[in-house]
Amino acid sequence: MAPLLDVLTRERLLKNRAAAAALLPRGEPPHVSLLRLCDAGLLEGGLSVGYGVRADELVGPLTTAMGGAARRFKVVDVRERPVLELHVMAGDVTERWEVEDLSSLVHNLNSLYRDAPDVRAVAELGEWEDALQLWCVDKRALPRLVRQPFFAPRNGRALMNPSGD
């Protein structure tokens, strides 16, 4: 587990190395350990989101964790039928988003702030302990993280593809 903790410490993505080391069982696959660390609140920018949380409820904590210009993101209106629709405002941009699930929200926010260097990208790490594990990471760290065997987010292709497709 030392390589995982070493990389996270070097990248300044770990809040407490000693607590992380005590939490991780020997022999656990590194990508599983990353989920465990996120759930425990030990990753900088990590969020553990329960299954019952709706997209409009996640916007505040998620955009705060993304930082930068995303902190000024606003939900102007919410429509619930037939699909959850968010009327959003970000600077001069006003859009209506159909948000079927939390992954859709993550995708839309990453796309909206793709070119904003001060906004962290949101990696969807996967599910752990009945919660979705999200990790807001500095975009400059992404090229180094994707080379690591423990970093395999569900939205990895979208994170690294400049067109967002």
Residues in the chain: 165
What is the crossing angle of helices 102-112 and 55-66, to 10°?
40
User: Is residue 122 in some structural domain?
Assistant: yes
pLDDT in tens, 71-87: 999 999 999 878 899 99
Mean pLDDT value of segment 117-123: 96
User: What's the rounded Cα separation, in Å, for the pair 20 and 144?
Assistant: 21
In a domain, 129, yes or no: yes
Per the structure, the count of domains in the chain is 1
| 165 assigned to some structural domain | no
Q: What is the mean pLDDT of the chain?
A: 93
> Is residue 162, in this structure, part of any structural domain at all?
no
In a domain, residue 124? The reply is: yes
Q: What is the pLDDT of residues 42-74, one digit of tens each?
A: 999 999 999 889 999 999 999 999 999 999 999
pTM for this entry: 0.91
Structural domain containing residue 37: 1-157
Residue 136 belongs to a domain: yes
